[in-house]
Amino acid sequence: MMKISKTKIKRNLIRKTNPSIIETINLSRKNQNWLELSKILSSSSRKYSSVNLSDIEKATSIGDTIVVLGKILSLGELSKKIRICSLSISHNAREKLKKTKSEWRSLTEEIKSNPKCEGVKIIK
C-alpha cells in the first residue's frame, strides 16, 4: 500500500490534464473505500496498466466486478458475464464484451454507484 496523504493527492492533480481522470481522482479521494484508487491514479501514468481480456478471464468468476487502472485490450476471449470498470477500453474489446453480455463502466460511474466498494476486484 502506498503511503500518500490526501493533500499530496490533491497537489498531484495539477499535473493531470484529462478531465475524466481528474473527476475520478476527486471522487475517489473523498471516499475512504476508494482512496487506494486515487493514490494510484494521481501518481505517474506509467503506473496505469493495460490488461487483456485473456488475463481477466483467468482471474475472474461469473458475476464479478473488476476494476482495471488503465485500459482494457482485446487479446483473448471472455466466456463469463462480468462487469468491468476501467479508464478506457479498446473498440474490439467492447465488441467482445457485448458477445458475452458483459458490462463495461467507467471508473467514475462505478464510484458513484458503488460508494462502499463492495465486491470489487482490482486487477493490475
CB-CB contact of 58 with 123 (8 Å) = no
Q: Is the pLDDT of residue 114 over 70?
A: yes
pTM: 0.87
Single out the residue of 35, 42, 38, 48 nearest to residue 13, CA to CA: 42
Name the β-bridge partners of 52.
73
Indicate the class that CATH gives domain 6-123.
alpha beta
The pLDDT confidence band at residue 1, using thresholds 50, 70 and 90, is low
Task: Give residue limits of the domains in the chain.
Answer: 6-123
Q: Please give the pLDDT value at position 107.
A: 94
